[in-house]
Structure 1
């Protein structure tokens, strides 16, 4: 357990705004960019004298008022009066022109990532880093904890050539085990140079955060990173059950427990019984009926299961989701299916949604052929064994 409260990168910057550099700062942020007292980072930075002149918003918008696959259209921030430039689904020349129009010389990233490859905030960061590399704009990351911890990686990597999208641009694991600052260092040392780009990058590190720290032990308040991520347990579940977004089962969107509820009209009591017999580590299952208010099966009562995470330290979200997928495919072979190409509201790219989420066509093809999904799971590995010192910031004894 962390003895002291974790100090986020924005707290460190507020104590010394000069470390941000730049004379015209564009803050890439949203409603998760908060101070420990739950004020907004942008307000605190402006009050501290940081020369913030523009705001960049990601998926869900600056204020987080819209659902997945959407962004807001506000031209100015109501509190500061700063212009807002929406970056969601903008990349390449379009994003270069947007940043140029903003007039900034430094982009500062301050958002709460979830620790899952197919969560899009890190790809907004990635796209803006590419633009920074092309345009010569400096890039700074105000680091925050990985809510899933930084001890292990889990799940497969990504076949970039065949399945890169806005839910995965780089070959990292589903549970990647890094902070946003560490990801930025990874991109800048391995991904961007391969594209002929190198970014003038700085990471404002946290203090009193350790890789094995449970988020509750940081003593930081949990701010839901998006409308369908209300709790920390939801975040852990999403790392695995997010794969069900690519299937014809409801993943619980439109309920108060998204990604913890999985169901469909064709599910009966056999699924809960099967899953309870597995005694999967760190999680329990119970049978449940629910009626989504929107998204899949909106207004219909469906039957399924609820995941109850009982021990985050041993819970493997990816393995759990594959166990569930195997059970559904075995019990309901004539009803279960993957969504056809192009059908997923928050990923407009062509192709099967589940392929983009998994990182290749391997999962879908295995299940459709009657093979085990769980057999594809590469297991978990220690973060230290996957990434080098050029990436890691919080694993050495010298890190506070």
Structure 2
């Protein structure tokens, strides 16, 4: 793998609502050379940002310190924080649920705190926030950089509720694990809004969760609820946009049951599109979004894909039997997607090439139907990608179809970036 040309650190931004780096080290903070998360810096400052407030937190198993202690456990035991409730997104606060599910209300046995289900329901969150008389909502969840990952939309709905009620919203930032160089892919059109994409951002957004919160606050909340939230982002320390997650020195905790590794996260902005296909996207295997296939597919797909000579990736002929989800307990043939160069790998171009090639070699497998619109339209954000593929377009033509919209989003996105 070629060496990266890592950007030099720039001067700290003097942006409103963004904390400067405290000098002290957190007791639960990173070791020497590690990137410091938003929580590391909040704790190092003695939780001054939360002093005197009734606090609720939206988090999941990824809300850990660098020594893998959960921040809720840390704050619940610290008298300087009045933490009164926890809210869980899809899969739940402690991560007990599968895709499309939250956790029902329970009392957390470790901390004694009430845990509420905040999955996909703004009205329910607003009722909880008001009933608990919260002053501040904290959000800290590891995102993976893709529009269809639902945690960012839980954050958006919580921000809407907070803005409506006049409650502060504090985001503890974490790195984008697939780097944050640029935005990629098609832009969501409003008529295709769903919980795998509520607002007009690109398929791979290239932002941290804190930067996304700033964009949501500046671009979308005013038009939705008539006002912005009282937003504070506690910035990362030492993060550069070109960093891989491995270079941060932070521990990887699976953000969801089917996101086990950083390789999965790098593939997901592209191969998640196979959720909209009749093929298995590898759910129910140990390599979700890396193993792709269906019964009857064989070595011909792998051969055609490797002949396409895509940068940064190779395909291995593979056979697998999912234990749940599509094609459960049936032997599937297909490919294992292997990233050979992180720098040159393009997940969206790769996935589109896979879809186009599969339809040429094994045309009997088409799209997965949706309830009201084809699922592929929800994931790509419009009819354009599906219609181009169905018309026989090559991958360059499909990508050219969103180039203008992506350029406009990229221009807007620049105003909300925190790390140059």
Q: TM-score, normalised by structure 1?
A: 0.92
Kept after mapping to 1: 8 A contact 2:313/2:341: yes
Kept after mapping to 2: 8 A contact 1:177/1:383: no
Work out which of the residue numbers 21, 34, 41 in structure 2 matches 1:5.
34
* SS of corresponding position for 2:318: strand
Say if 2:414 is the partner of 1:392: no
Q: Distance in 1 between the 2:292 and 2:281 partners? A: 5
78-87 or 46-55: which moved more? 46-55
Q: Distance in 1 between the 2:274 and 2:381 partners? A: 14
Query: Counterpart of 2:335?
Result: 305
Say if 2:157 is the partner of 1:132: no
Kept after mapping to 1: 8 A contact 2:201/2:409: no
Q: Deviations over 1:166-208 (max 9, x none)?
A: 1111111111000010000001111111221210000000100
Q: How large is the RMSD of aligned CA atoms in angstroms?
A: 1.9
Work out which of the residue numbers 346, 366, 369 in structure 2 matches 1:340.
369
Kept after mapping to 1: 8 A contact 2:389/2:398: no
Kept after mapping to 1: 8 A contact 2:183/2:410: no
- Trace 1:56-71 onto structure 2 (pairs within 5 A): 56-71=87-102
Kept after mapping to 1: 8 A contact 2:280/2:326: yes
**1:374: how far off?**
4.6
168-177 or 98-107: which moved more? 98-107
Q: Deviations over 1:42-69 (max 9, x none)?
A: 1112233211100010000011121110
Kept after mapping to 2: 8 A contact 1:329/1:367: no
Q: Distance in 1 between the 2:375 and 2:52 partners? A: 40
**1:386: how far off?**
3.2
Contiguous gaps of at least 5 residues in structure 1: 343-349, 396-400
Kept after mapping to 2: 8 A contact 1:20/1:140: no
Query: Residues 299 and 207 of structure 1: is their aligned pair in 2 closer, same or farther, counting only changes over 3 Å?
Result: same
Work out which of the residue numbers 300, 305, 319 in structure 2 matches 1:289.
319
Kept after mapping to 2: 8 A contact 1:326/1:373: yes
Query: Counterpart of 2:126?
Result: 96
Work out which of the residue numbers 239, 246, 256 in structure 2 matches 1:209.
239
- Trace 1:1-400 onto structure 2 (pairs within 5 A): 4-16=33-45, 17-21=47-51, 23-48=53-78, 49-91=80-122, 93-160=123-190, 162-195=191-224, 196-333=226-363, 335-342=364-371, 350-378=372-400, 386-387=411-412, 390-395=415-420
48-57 or 98-107: which moved more? 98-107
Q: Could you list the structure 1 runs, at least 4 aligned residues long, displaced by more than 4 angstroms after superposition.
A: 378-385
**1:382: how far off?**
9.4
**1:94: how far off?**
3.1
Q: Deviations over 1:333-358 (max 9, x none)?
A: 2x11111122xxxxxxx422211111
Q: Distance in 1 between the 2:148 and 2:413 partners? A: 23
* SS of corresponding position for 1:98: helix
